[in-house]
Amino acid sequence: MQRWLMKTEPGTFSIDDLRTRKTEPWDGVRNYQARNFIRAMRRGDAVLIYHSACPAPGVAGIAKVASAPKPDPTQFDPKNHHYDSTSKREDPRWTLVDVQFVRKLKRVVPLDEIKALTGLGDFALTRRGNRLSVLPVTDKQWNAILALE
DNA sequence: GCCAACGTTGGC
DNA sequence: GCCAACGTTGGC
């Protein structure tokens, strides 16, 4: 089983929204590196849900991958904000997985506390200037973050 | 709202 | 292939 972190803006879609929805197609990812991580996902992989672009950025909950990777339908919808007119149905460019709520953390583990952790190796979340919205997490990183909740 | 970082686009 | 311009992300 692999581990991942996926960002969301809580003003748009929060961990509480995921709890209500139970399972949500994680659409709208339009970055090739993030897409390639999504394509590497398998059903049952573990996911940290991260709140970004908000007053208290940090890890808010746990989810799991609930489907195989599949084409993101919003790329073909001209009315959708994430519409991609250059993506072809016979060769879809953008991919999503369904994400299923598991639980909220006891508190949102703040980004600055995660940044203060040491000895966790390379971590895309805390790399300077990082903007990746989907990124891999090692067992050690996962456990260190959950130890802070 | 500001701004640093970074990806993408397009002219050449 | 270079690189300036532009758009987006995301912390602060």
Q: What is the pLDDT along chain A (149 residues), one digit of tens a residue?
A: 999 999 999 999 999 999 999 999 999 999 999 999 999 999 999 999 999 999 999 999 999 999 999 999 999 998 888 888 888 888 899 999 999 999 999 999 999 999 999 989 899 999 888 889 999 999 999 999 999 99
Give the contacts of A40 (CB within 8 A, at least 6 positions apart).
Answer: A2
DSSP state of A8: E
Question: Which residue type is seen at A105?
Answer: L
A133 vs A97: CA distance, rounded Å: 14
Stated in angstroms, how far is A43 CA from B2 C1'? 41
* Domain encompassing residue A120: 3-147
Q: Would you state the structure tokens that stand for residue A22, as one six-digit string?
A: 């139970």
How many domains, in total, are found in chain A? 1
The A 9-48 residues near strand C by Cβ under 7 Å are 9, 30
Which nucleotide is nearest, taking the CA of residue A129 and each C1'? B5
Which nucleotide is nearest, taking the CA of residue A31 and each C1'? B7
CATH number of the domain encompassing residue A71: 3.10.590.10
pTM of the model: 0.93
CA distances from A41 to A65, A137, A144 (A): 7, 12, 22
Which nucleotide is nearest, taking the CA of residue A132 and each C1'? C9
Give the contacts of A134 (CB within 8 A, at least 6 positions apart).
Answer: A4, A5, A6, A7, A29, A31, A34, A35, A37, A38
Statement: the CB of A132 is under 7 Å from strand C:
yes
Tell me the torsion sign for CA atoms A133, A134, A138, A141: positive
Please name the residue ranges forming H helices in A1-149: 15-21, 32-39, 111-116, 139-146
Three-class SS state of A124: helix
CA–CA–CA angle A16, A43, A39 (5° rounding):
95
